[in-house]
A = this chain, B = another copy of it.
Amino acid sequence: MQRDLDQLMADRDLDAIVVSGKTAGNPPLIYLLNGAHLTQALVVKKRGATPHLIASPIEREVAAATGYPVILNTRYGYRDLLGKHGGDVLAASVAYQRAIFDDLGVTGRVGFYGYRDQGSAYAFLTALNAALPAIDIVGESDANLIEAARATKDAAEVARIRDVGRRTAEVVRQTVSFLQAHTVDADETLRHATENRALTIGDVHAHIHRLITLQGLEDAEGFIFAAGRDAGVPHNQGTLDMPLRLGETIIFDIYPRESGGGYFFDMTRTFCLGYAPEAVMDLYQDVMGCVAHLKAALQAGVETRTYQQMTCAFFEERGHPTIGSDPATLEGYIHSLGHGVGLDIHEAPSFFDHVGNTARLTPGHVFTLEPGLYYPDRGMGCRIEDTLWLDEDGNVSNLTGYPYDLVVPM
């Protein structure tokens, strides 16, 4: 949580942090801006102090909405610095950052965060480190301070995610109603409502996109509505010209966020229209069994990778290959169990089962569990995913208000 920033800085022995870049597509910066819609910004926070926001004069009023003390970037005279350095952008950028640090009295270990071009970040921070002997530039390569703060959500964040979840479930509900409103031909394909042809995956995609928008959400990362063989390949988003037909597995994985770059939600349901073949029923039973098995075991303090191991063990006992025993398998259980959800669709905590993942379930975590089984060559796949919240008292709430039924009556 934001209120943990000073403690997280102390843990890392950081005297100050810089979070900067363009705002769009930059969750670390968005997180610190408290909802202000700046185009770009530079936030400097010394340990124990309120952050300073350095912004362009043309955005001075938007900047004020952050609640931070605002410094106009003209104070540091970037244009003059460029002139002084003969147009050398790197040298001028270093001099500009030095002027900011001098002005704000920043010294010691300084962590840098926020998205920017990686080569440019490397060039800039290398040059800055060389130019400022009083500053020690710290680059965190994993589980960094901002990610750690973001991993646990405060009440306001949970309320927003819960509300996105409510609207997301409504989209799923309306999508199912849309499907049910169609008639079925003798060959078991669904018929388009107004045109003389089959209803296609593409038609459903267009409808889902519209439903998402009408809920005040955006599908910034797309969504998956994939059937048959495509459902057997986890990130296949669906083949647009494929007709919908009864009895095929449909994976509907939907992860929209608040319009304008806010909080995400993430859920998946597997459907069969009309009826489910026996092989699919078996798959579904195994996945639902795993869901129940996992939920019963969720507990604050447990390493997240434990749940990935439990999932592999559960599926292997039932005869499915998993990446637990064969990392390269393309059948069976072939991905990670879940992920944190927030301003990024995938954020901390990770559930990867590797020795570098030391994350433990912690009060404030909002995360998905999404066990699935995939058999593309048998034309089927099944995944069930909920977004869950571990609250301050250690209780798990399911933020996903939608049933698990496999068969959609037609």
User: Which residues does A use to contact B, with CB under 8 Å?
Assistant: 20-22, 24-26, 28, 37-39, 56-62, 72, 74, 77-80, 82-83, 86-90, 92-93, 111-127, 137-144, 209, 213, 218-222, 230, 233-237, 259-261, 327-328, 330, 334-335, 345-346, 352, 354-358
Contacts and interface: CB of A to CB of B under 8 A. Distances in A.
A355 B121 contact: no
Contacts of A142: 89-90, 120
A121 to B, nearest CB: 4
A345 to B, nearest CB: 8
Nearest to A110: B119
B123 A139 contact: yes
A141 B118 contact: no
Contacts of A218: 218
B115 A144 contact: no
Contacts of A86: 355
A88 B122 contact: no
A115 B113 contact: no
Contacts of A125: 118-119, 122
Contacts of A92: 356
B74 A328 contact: yes
Contacts of A56: 235
Given A74-B328, A89-B142, A118 B112 contact: yes
B141 A219 contact: no
10 contacts: A39-B221, A89-B141, A89-B142, A90-B142, A118-B118, A118-B139, A119-B121, A119-B141, A123-B141, A219-B259
A137 B126 CA distance: 12
A232 B90 CA distance: 33
B126 A139 contact: yes
Nearest to A25: B25
A140 B119 contact: yes
Given A25-B26, A82-B355, A236-B62, A259 B209 contact: yes
A139 B121 CA distance: 8
Contact of A117 (B25, B28, B82, B356): B28
Contacts of A235: 38-39, 56, 58-59, 61-62
